[in-house]
Amino acid sequence: MLEVRRSDVEYPDVEIVMKINGELKKVKVKPYERLIDVLRNKLGLTSVKEGCGRGECGACVVIMDNRPVPSCLVLAVRANGKSILTLEGLAPEGKIHAIQKALIDVHALQCGFCFPGVIMMSKHLLDNNPDPSEEEIREALDGNLCRCGSYLRFVKAVKLASKYLREGKTYFDESEVLR
């Protein structure tokens, strides 16, 4: 019979520093702790969704140092010193980003669980390719599963967002969308 937990003895806490949505955050984590759990449970950033825990569904995608990563497959210690963007940090208070506006415009929303990942992935695409073709959009979002099947609207929305961005419209007032 074990006297103490294996996890306590073998894995003491580690302190890491990350820049999250523009703000420096210090967090104590276990060496085996996943970035997704730190973001969700320790920092309250619950836009990051866990759909599979194996990097297969795309719901937990965040942008780490300008690269999209499934945060369920990233150990928190590996995020030490990195800059991370989640959906919460995509637009200033009271505003929404062009991609969010476009997804609402084309009525893409169903259950919404895959959306945070889809939005982050789309942002990464548009950051690197301001005017993607339909094929490029499908290629970029191939790792984001949407079981409600809003796929065709994702294609439309990314095209529309690309138009907004090229017109210089990055952010929209939330109140404008609510009408």
Positions in the binding site for other proteins (CB under 8 A): 1-8, 30, 32, 40-41, 44, 46-54, 56-57, 59, 86-88, 91, 96, 100, 103-104, 107, 109-116, 119, 137-139, 141-155, 174, 177-178
Q: Which residues, 6+ apart, have CB-to-CB distance to 17 below 8 Å?
A: 24, 25, 26, 27, 80, 81
* For other proteins, the closer CB: 32 or 81: 32
Helix (H) or strand (E) holding 135: helix 134-140
What span, in angstroms and rounded, lies between the C-alpha atoms of 162 and 46?
A: 27
* For other proteins, the closer CB: 19 or 50: 50
Q: Are 65 and 79 in contact (CB under 8 A)?
A: no
Beta carbon of residue 144, minimum distance to other proteins (angstroms, whole number): 7
Which of these, 111, 19, 8, lies nearest to 59 by C-alpha position?
111
* For other proteins, the closer CB: 74 or 155: 155
* For other proteins, the closer CB: 74 or 157: 157
Beta carbon of residue 168, minimum distance to other proteins (angstroms, whole number): 21
Beta carbon of residue 110, minimum distance to other proteins (angstroms, whole number): 4
Q: Are 145 and 74 in contact (CB under 8 A)?
A: no
